[in-house]
Amino acid sequence: MSQESTDVQLGELLIRTGLIQPEQFEAAYKLSFKMRLPIGRVLTMHGHVSEDHLRTALELQSRMRDGLIPFDHAIQAFMQVIKHGVALDAAIARIAPAAPPKTMVTENRLGELLVAAGIASRSHVDEAMRASSETGLPLGMVLMNNGKVQRAALNSALAAQKLVRDGAIERDKAVYALKLARLRAIPLEQSLRENVEFQGAMSETFATGELFLMAGVVSESQLMTAKEIEVTEEVPIEEVFVALGYASAPCAKAAKYILSMVGQGMLFEDQAARIIKRIQYASSNKELQDVLAKLDSNPEEILEEREQIEITDILKKAGLISDKDLQIATALALANRVPLIKTLFDAKLIDEQVMNNATELKTYLDHDLLKLEQATIVMSYCLENNMTVDETLDTFGWTAPV
């Protein structure tokens, strides 16, 4: 992803205008990566930036990405908004009043493709564009979340847009194939081959996105978001995963190598997914190589199934719930179809602090960042000293992952 579309560029905007300090943004950026939250949400949650200023920064970021305003003009306009409370468009006009408006090419954009194929109406797309600008969510995800577009149709439109972008098919043929796929309720690839004599290759069915989904690194919604950014901003999906905080750069880089091993029959798909889960937060090439080296020296160690540790294991080990409590809560959870952890909380067998600590420790255990014994010690120490999990990890020298 280009620098102008990354969170780092957003940080430069906020830092250069004096809204936040560099160390505040750095801490928020690390937290957003660890918790898989948008950086803007973390900044507003901590009170570093107001919602209005964040919206302005995101709008400027979007305009820079589209080439509508240079970085130095964005800074000057942002300062006008902050100091004098003027509207953003008025501030930009003051900075460069003589600059002619740049016409944006829209015929290959996702919204235009959806309208042309009859998948979404013009009014729905326009409404979603406004919501996308306000929330920072991709257009397709807004339409899907609002129930205006089905997941399968959005996936087909993204695939068609990628084919058009790559020059594999003309736009009018892509629109025609999308229309027929929608009307006949058939896959896009079938529509392409039957109706427009498409001879090219569709994207691989098991690629980076599907690998990360199988590994549990991303959810289906997160994968759809990443695919939309991949297509609309013309960047590799691996870079999108890194920019969104779904995986570290070394992990994303290794994904292609791991996929090639799947293609050569050296790994099964589920084995590749387990490797990705192990290296999701690898912070350096050395850490990555240490894990991958085991594929040659001792593949069973890295590929063997681990016994899954549950949140209740942490609670029992720390002496916070008994077997009898667990049996009763499990029966209630099954009867009411409510998650077990929520049932324990609702029954006042655990409080909110215990629930949050256990959930965070479970994440670290799932990624082999802690052992169960360590998690038990951390939980007890947190409660005794009213400290957070990360504070306790630092106290014991078990550095909190970032």
Q: Exposed/middle/buried for 360, CB within 10 Å: 0-12, 13-18, 19+?
A: buried
Average pLDDT over residues 358-381: 83
**DSSP string covering 54-118:** HHHHHHHHHHHHTTSS-HHHHHHHHHHHHHH---HHHHHHHHSTTPPPPPPP-TTSHHHHHHHTT
pLDDT of residue 158: 85
Residue with the bigger pLDDT between 305 and 141: it is 141
Q: What is the pLDDT of residues 75-109, one digit of tens each?
A: 888 898 998 888 888 888 887 654 444 443 334 47
User: Whole-number mean pLDDT of the chain?
Assistant: 78
| Cβ–Cβ under 8 Å, residues 161 and 113 | yes
> Is residue 187 very low, low, confident or very high in pLDDT (cuts 50, 70, 90)?
confident
Buried (b) or exposed (e) across 305-334, using 16+ Cβ within 10 A?
A: eeeebebbbbbbbbebbeeebbeebeeebe
pLDDT of residue 275: 85
Residue 5 predicted with pLDDT over 50 = no
Average pLDDT over residues 141-158: 83
Rounded to whole angstroms, the Cα distance separating 111 from 17 reads 33
Residue 402 predicted with pLDDT over 50 = no
Rounded to whole angstroms, the Cα distance separating 209 from 192 reads 23
100 contact partners, CB below 8 Å, separation of at least 6: none
Rounded to whole angstroms, the Cα distance separating 301 from 293 reads 11
175 contact partners, CB below 8 Å, separation of at least 6: 113, 116, 117, 160
Entry pTM: 0.47
Rounded to whole angstroms, the Cα distance separating 243 from 38 reads 10
> Is residue 4 very low, low, confident or very high in pLDDT (cuts 50, 70, 90)?
very low
Residue 203 predicted with pLDDT over 80 = no
Rounded to whole angstroms, the Cα distance separating 152 from 376 reads 43
> Is residue 394 very low, low, confident or very high in pLDDT (cuts 50, 70, 90)?
confident
| Cβ–Cβ under 8 Å, residues 230 and 237 | yes
Q: What is the pLDDT of residues 259-298, one digit of tens each?
A: 888 888 777 888 888 888 878 777 777 777 777 776 655 5
Buried (b) or exposed (e) across 22-52, using 16+ Cβ within 10 A?
A: eebbeebbebbbbeeebbbebbbeeebbeee
